[in-house]
Structures are given as structure tokens and as C-alpha cells.
Amino acid sequence: MNLHGIASDPKFWSETVRNGECYKKYVEERLADWDKYCEGQTILDLTYSLYKIFSISGERKTFEDAYFKRRNMLAVSAVLSLIYPEEEKYIDFLQDIIFAICDEYTWSIAAHHPDINVHNKWHIDLFAAETGFALSEVYTLLGDRLDVVIRERIKYEVNERIIESFMNNHTFWWETRCTNNWAAVCGGSVGCTFMIMRPDLFDEIKPRFDAIMEAFLSGFKNDGYCLEGTSYWHYGFGFFLTYADMVKTYTDGKENYFEREKVRKIATFIQKMFLSEMCSVSFADGDLSLKYHLGTLHYLKKLYPDDVKVFSPEYSYTKDGCARFCLMIRSASWLDTYIYNNPEVNEASAEYYAEESNWFVKRTASYGFAAKAGNNNEHHNHNDVGTFIFAKDGKQILTDMGRGVYCKQYFRTETRYDMIECSSLGHNVPHFGGKIKQCFGRKFEATDVNYKPGEFSMDIAGAYGDDTVKSIKRTFVTDDNSVRVYDVFDYSGEEKITERLTSYVKPEVSDGCIKLDCGTVLFDNAKCSVSVSEVVTSKNNTVYLIDFELNRNVCEFEMIIK
């Protein structure tokens, strides 16, 4: 059974990919990665001193930089070994890095380990699952070009750390109560590893993977929007897609997730997230700019030709920073030369509304705009009910900062919302003297949410959890050239009502006007006083906080953004 399709053909790599015009960028990127990660490089030790940093300070970057450099070394040397089979340096380096990865104490990163003080090399987190899957695919695609001892090491370590751990140790949390990317990445990676390395056991264990994938899909509303953010669509849905493709082949088409309407809807999500050029909707832990994964979009386009749109290859990427091998090889094996050479043009004007997720996105020839309602307990949650983004000329003018730097504090409820990226004080929503702000929890949500073409409205008072904030009716009215933001307050507290805007662009304030590079905010200067402060984000970027402090007895405020 050929689970890898064309990727299992050595000539596809050494002839088609190596010489094909559509693959030229892919090959050049892999060669550049070789120079960056491998050529003349020493394989860094993953020492205990690095491993325990997270438990001491909560800082993740130091250990993970070394960990993911190894994964980059693995992926790049494996792909180049396929493309240039005559070049011994690639396969030699590949075998060295495989040997080192098989020596690692655990394939789980320290931040995901249940207890650093308990010996457990068999824990399966996102990256242990990915590592087992990557080694399984390397084992299959490189075959007997790998030395016998390397093949045997892969078989032994994958069997012990993934196969036996999944079958014999216990049920993992991500298969029992998880509806986000963890389910697809862990479940998909482990499921694919079984199909590749132990197909004799897969049928027995398959019901567990069925349940995991159902849980993952249940985390999406019927409109298919990924509330975790654009990067997590690529991550979670990318691994789901890989698993779904492989299990479809394994079952001779009997198991076909792609026939489901929800999967079709999810497939169209990412094309709606471009606001202005590559500037994107960055809600939750998303990114400010966006490219699509080349193989993923080409595969989906062939599945749903009337629904999925694939833009110019310049909007694409073939490898992320974590060097996820399954997605990297499918950037080549799922590439379709006709789609590559016949890209679609992103419509200058479009409007989307997700009725269940309550996201509103609009593009015109002049600007891009996005706003959300929702609640404050969504996956990768930020306290951001009612926030919005305004983009122009390829950048966010009024911003949503997206994800901050991941650390222990970032994923603890008691500290997460002290961080500017996650706090409502870091979003384009009102606050009350900086003291009354939005709260975390499912019950803190928008109500009375309504949409009609060009207009999106809601009441966001419920997100604040304060009896003095009785109503904040927020309405967005859009036309071809501008967005009107109109808020009406029913508030009985003592703190002053303050409208906040956030921007990476330094504002120029004058009477009734704020200039933000190519964007402008117009307001009634008689109703408020304006102040600007600065904050440095966890990524060490300066963000400008623009506050409109409303005068006493003012209970409504309007901004025109263009």
C-alpha cells in the first residue's frame, strides 16, 4: 500500500523536483536552509541545563531554539537527500541527526512535559508526535539508503516512544477533552505513524483516532472559521489533512473526511483572511502577515475546485520555523503545476460574515477590515470581544497584536491576561479608567449580535463583568472608502469611559484627527481628550495606545476610519 503517493517515487525528487520550473523556489529554499542549519554546523546537545530552564523561569526559547534547530537539520537533510541522491554529504548528515534525535531523553519539549521531576521519556506531546511521524516518513522515503543501524534505531525508538506509549501507557489528555490543534497534530501524527510503521496494529487502535478527529472537527463552528488564529489553521488543519489523506488511501476510500460539508467550509477559511496584500486577520494567536502553505492549498483546490482559491505563489510558503517534515514534503508532492501557473487574483472587494463564529471581514480597493464578537474563552483566547482591525497598503493601521512570546505565564489564566497581547487593554475596545476591562471566561460574551451587508453590530457590555457597565452597543458601518465605529454606552460607574485604539504606527494627533501613516481616524474633539502612550510587547515591538477619554455625561462616541 502506497501511503505517500508520488513522494515515494525517487525519480519524482531527483528529476521532477530537481529540474522542474515550478519547484525551483522550493529547491532554492532547501539549499538555503542547508547553509543556515547544516553546512559546517555542530549538532547541539540538548542538555539537562537547557531542559530545566522552563521549570525554573518559565522561559521556553533557549531550549526550543536548540530543539527546533535539530528538527530543521532533520527535515532539510532528508529532503536534500531525496533531491540529490548522489551527494553523500546530505545522507551522512541526515544519519548523524537521526542518531542524535534517537538519543534524546524525550521528544517532548520541556514546556509540555507533565512533570520534569518524574522520569518519563515516553510522553507524547505535539512535538514528540511530530518527531515520531517525521522519522517514520524518513524511514519509508529513504529506505535502504539509510544504514541498517539507523533504520533499526528508528524502528526501535518510534515503537517505544510512540506505538507502545500510545497503546500501553494511558489515554492522553489530547484524545479525551481536546477540540483544538493538539487533537489533529498529536492524533494525526500518531495515527499516521501507526499506518506507516505498524499497520498490523492500526485497525485495532483506529477507533481512538476516529474519536480524536471527531473532537478536532467539533472545535470548529459550522461556518469553518478557526478561532485559534490563522497560524493554527495551517497547523491543526494541515495535520488533519495529512491524516485524512493517508487514512483515505489506507481504507481504499471508505474513510473519506473530505465528503463532509464542515471540512469543505474549513478548507475555505484561509483565503478569507487576507486584508490588504499579505496583511492578515490576526485575531487570537494569529500573525499580522499571512502566507498560505503551498501543498495544503493545492491539495484543497483539487478537492474543492469551485470553493478554494489559490493566489499567486508569492503568497505561499513551504516550510515553517518548526520544520514540520510532513508539511514540507507535501509542499512538493501536493504541488500542482497547473494551479501553480494559473493563480487566482484575490478580489479587491469582498465581504464575509461567519454567522456562528461572529467574525466579519471586508476588503475594498481602499482598505481591509475585520471585527469579531464571540466570547472570552475561545481557543488561544484573548479578551477581545468587539475588537477590530483596519489595514491599508499592506499593513495594519489599527492592529490586533496576535500572539505574544510563548512562555509558562502565557498559558496560565492567572497571568495570561496581564500581558498586553492578551489583555483587552491591548485591543481596540473601550475600557473604564484602565480599571474596568474585559474578563476571561465563557460567560463574558457579546450579545445582540447582528449582521447585514456592510454593517455589523453587537452589545459587548457582557464581556466586562461589572454591574455598572450595563450596555455598550458597538456598531460598525462600512462603505467603499471608510469604516464608521459608533458606540453607545449605558454606564453608571465613576471611572471615565475611554475608547482605546492600538497601532504599531506612531500617531500624529491634531484637532479631531489622528494621522496614522496612510490611515486617518476622525472624531469629535469636543467630546473627549486624547492621549498617547507606548508599550513594549513581549516580542520587543513598540505599540502605541491611543486613548479617547470621554467627557462627563458623554455616552456615545463615533470614529470614522479611512
Reduce the DSSP state of residue 39 to 3 states and report it.
Answer: coil
What pLDDT shows up at residue 92?
Answer: 98
pLDDT bin (cut points 50, 70, 90) of residue 36 is very high
Owning domain of residue 48: 5-341
Q: Looking at the DSSP assignment, which residues form a beta bridge with residue 458?
A: 474
Judge contact between 426 and 533, C-beta under 8 A.
no
Statement to judge: residues 324 and 403 lie in one domain: no
Residue for grid cell 489622528 = 514
CATH code for the domain in which residue 500 is found: 2.70.98.70
- Extract the C-alpha cell encoding 237: 488543519
Q: Is the dihedral of CA 123, 128, 130, 132 positive or negative?
A: negative
The tens digit of pLDDT for each residue in 399-423 reads: 999 999 999 999 999 999 999 999 9
**Which whole number is the average pLDDT over 197-216?**
96
Whether the pLDDT of residue 234 is over 90: the answer is yes
Element containing residue 55 per DSSP (H, E): helix 53-57
What pLDDT shows up at residue 321?
Answer: 86
Where is the domain boundary, 316, 341, 366?
A: 341
Statement to judge: residues 209 and 316 lie in one domain: yes
Whether the pLDDT of residue 169 is over 80: the answer is no
What pLDDT shows up at residue 543?
Answer: 98
Judge contact between 370 and 491, C-beta under 8 A.
no
Whether the pLDDT of residue 117 is over 90: the answer is no
Statement to judge: residues 354 and 324 lie in one domain: no
Number of neighbours of residue 211 by Cβ within 10 angstroms:
14
Where is the domain boundary, 341, 367, 383?
A: 341
* pLDDT above 70 coverage of the chain, percent: 100
The tens digit of pLDDT for each residue in 385-397 reads: 999 999 999 999 9
Statement to judge: residues 113 and 160 lie in one domain: yes
Statement to judge: residues 325 and 370 lie in one domain: no
Statement to judge: residues 286 and 380 lie in one domain: no
pLDDT bin (cut points 50, 70, 90) of residue 47 is very high
Statement to judge: residues 299 and 355 lie in one domain: no
Whether the pLDDT of residue 214 is over 90: the answer is yes
What pLDDT shows up at residue 425?
Answer: 98
How many Å apart are CA 551 and CA 354, to the nearest integer? 36
**Which whole number is the average pLDDT over 141-170?**
95
Whether the pLDDT of residue 14 is over 90: the answer is yes
Statement to judge: residues 152 and 196 lie in one domain: yes
Statement to judge: residues 154 and 254 lie in one domain: yes
Statement to judge: residues 393 and 277 lie in one domain: no
Where is the domain boundary, 299, 315, 341?
A: 341
Statement to judge: residues 129 and 160 lie in one domain: yes
Statement to judge: residues 129 and 276 lie in one domain: yes
Q: Is the dihedral of CA 296, 300, 305, 308 positive or negative?
A: negative
What pLDDT shows up at residue 348?
Answer: 86
The tens digit of pLDDT for each residue in 255-297 reads: 999 999 999 999 999 999 999 999 999 999 999 999 999 999 9
Among 214, 130, 231, which residue's Cα sits nearest to residue 179?
A: 214
Residue for grid cell 518548526 = 322
Q: Looking at the DSSP assignment, which residues form a beta bridge with residue 319?
A: none
The tens digit of pLDDT for each residue in 92-105 reads: 999 999 999 999 99
Count of the separate structural domains present in the chain? 2
CATH code for the domain in which residue 131 is found: 1.50.10.100
